[in-house]
Amino acid sequence: MRLCAKQTQASLPLLHSPLSSTVTHPQKGHLFSLTSNTTTAFRNLEQAMRAADARMMGVSVLGRRETVILRHPDDCAAVSRDQETYGKANTGWRHLERWLGRGLVAESDVAHHAAVKEVLLPAFKAASVKGFVPLFAEVGEELADLIEGAAAKDPSKAYDVRNACRRATLDVIGKAAFGFNFGALGYAAARLREGRGVEEGGGGAAAGSAGAVTDAQIGDADCDVIGIFDAVLFPAMILLFELPFPQFMIPGIDGYFKGIEKLDAVIAKIIAAKRVGGPAALEGGDILSFMLKAQAAGNDVITDKQIRDELQVFTLAGSDTTAATLSFALYELSRHPEVQEACAAEAAALLGDGPSRGASSAALQSQMPMLTAVINETLRLYPAATEYVRCTTKDVVLGGYAIKAGSFVLPSPYSTQRHPDYWPRPDEWLPERWLPQNAKELAPHADKAWFPFAQGPRACIGRYFSVLELQTILAVLLRRLRFGRVEGYDAVTCENFTLSTVDGALVLPATRAR
C-alpha cells in the first residue's frame, strides 16, 4: 500500500512514498486472505485515505500494476472526461470478454463505443423511459406481494430484502429491456408458497463463491437466474484483478463459465422469440426491439454479436446496481422511521389508489422530494459502483502527482462521496441534506462531489431509467408496507462485483393499515 505523497511539479516524480497502514490489499496473501480482503478493500482504502488526508492513494495488486484510487472531485472529473489519456483499454474488463464481449460498459475502442452509444441513447432518454413507469409499478406491486407473503408467515422474522430486490430489478430489466419475463419474483413466490425459502442465501460474496448454478430449464418459471448470477459475479470480480492462472486461482471459476453458458442460452432464447414474432413483436417499446429495428433499418453497428453483448451488459449493469440501491434505501429507512413516514405520506398522496402512470422522473421529483432525497443520499453513502477503472495511456501528472503510463486510475464515488471536505457529517445517512432549503449547508459541493453514475462520455446510460425505477418501486412499497428495524443488526458492506452486504439487508416488514 503506498500513498501518493504531494510532490513538487518541477521534479515530476514517478515514485510514491511508502505508507504504513492497516489497509490490506491482495499483494501477497494466500488465496483465502486475497478473497476476503478484496471484498472489503474499498472500505479500507477510504479509511486510510481519510486518516492520511490523502488526495489519492496507490496500491499494488500482486505487484503487477500501479493502481491509484482517487477521491478529489477534480481528479475524478478529469479522468472521467478524458478518454484519450485515461482509457478503458487494458482495464480488467477485457478479462470478462467471454461474458460481456464488446458491450457498452466493456468496450475500449472509443470510436466504436461512441457509435453504439449514439444508437442506444435515445432509448434511455428521460422522455423515453417514462413509458416504463407502469411496468416499474407492476413489478413493485409484485415485490410488495412477495414481502407481504413472507411477513404474513412469520411477522417476527427478519426478512432479507436484498435478494427480493435483486429479483425485482432483474424482472424489470427483462421486461423493459428485452420484453422477456425472467420470472425471478414469481420463482421466489412459488417457493414461498411451497414452504421452501430462497432468500436465506444472503446473496453476498459468500453466496457467490458457493458456485451453485441451477440445472433448471432457462426462461421457464422454475429457472432461477439469480442463482446463475450468484455463480458468475464473484469469480468475475476476481478476474478483473488479472490473476495468473485464473483457472486454478479463482474459486468458483467453473461456475462462472457454466453460468455464462446458461446466460447465453437465455439470451439466445430471448432474441429468437423476438425474431419469430415478426414486426409486431418489435412494437413493445423494449430496448431489444429498439436494437433489432435499428439493425433492420441497415445500421451496421448493431450486429447480432453486438445485440448479444448488450443484452449481457444490461442484465448485469441494469439489475444488481439498482437492487443494491433499493435494498440499502429500505435498510436505512427501517432505521429512520420519521423519514420513512414522510416518504410514505408522499407516496400515498401521489399514488392514491393506483400507480402514477407515465410520470416523468422530474415530475416525481417535484412531488416526492423526500423520497428523491432518500435515493440521492443512498447513492451517496452506498454507491453501487464504489470505484470504476481507467488505464493511463501515457505518463501523466494528475492533481500534482506523477502517474506512470499503463497504471490503473480509479475515480472512487465511494471515497469522494464520504470526503469530509465536501460533505458535512459525511458518515450520516441524512436525506434532508438534499432538500433545497438544506442543500447549501449540508450538500454544498454536491454538483462535483456526487457522481454515483460516473461522469463524461462513459457515464451510465441507465441513470434516468434506474432513478425512475427506484422512485416508482419505493413509492409502491412504502404505500403498502412499513419496514421496521431489526434490533442489534447492522449491515456489513462488501463487494460482490457491485456493492453488497455480507449478510443481506435485514428488515422487519409489516402491512400498513390503509
Nearest Cα neighbor of 107 from 306, 341, 393 is 306
Size of the site for ligand HEM (CB under 6 A): 23
Under rule CB under 6 A, residue 340 binds ligand HEM: no
Q: What is d(CA 141, CA 145) in angstroms, rounded to the nearest whole number? A: 6
DSSP at 411: E
Report yes or no: 225 and 213 within 8 Å, Cβ to Cβ: no
Whole-angstrom distance, CA of residue 120 vs CA of residue 99: 20
CB of 107 to ligand HEM, least distance (A): 7
The answer to whether the beta carbons of residues 146 and 185 sit under 8 Å apart is yes
Query: Quick one: 453 or 497, whose CB is closer to ligand HEM?
Result: 453
- Of the pair 49, 460, the CB lying nearest ligand HEM is at 460
Return the residue of 294, 461, 468, 486 that touches ligand HEM, per CB under 6 A.
461
Cβ 369 to ligand HEM shortest distance, Å: 19
Contact pattern from residue 371 through residue 390 relative to ligand HEM, giving x for each residue in contact according to CB under 6 A and a dash for the rest: ------------xxx--x--
| 167 and 185 Cβ atoms separated by less than 8 Å | yes
117 sits near ligand HEM (criterion: CB under 6 A): yes
Give residue number: closest CB to ligand HEM.
Answer: 462
x-or-dash pattern for ligand HEM, window 294-333, by CB under 6 A? -------------------xx--xx--xx--x--------
343 assigned to a ligand binding site? no
Nearer to ligand HEM, 209 or 392 (CB): 392
104 binds ligand HEM, rule: CB under 6 A: yes
- Contact code string over 465-484 relative to ligand HEM, x by CB under 6 A: xx------------------
Rounded Cα–Cα distance for residues 160 and 205 (Å): 15
Strand 498-501, strand 408-411: pairing: unpaired
Q: Shortest approach of ligand HEM to residue 414 CB, angstroms?
A: 11
The single-letter DSSP state of residue 497 is S
Q: Is 90 in the site for ligand HEM (CB under 6 A)?
A: no
3-state secondary structure 45-111: HHHHHHHCCCCEEEEEECCCEEEEEECCHHHHHHHHHCCCCEECCCCHHHHHHHHHCCCCCCCCCHH
What cell was used for 381? 453513502
| Residue positions forming the annotated binding site for heme | 460
Q: Which residues bind ligand HEM (CB under 6 A)?
A: 104-105, 117, 313-314, 317-318, 321-322, 325, 383-385, 388, 452-454, 458, 460-462, 465-466
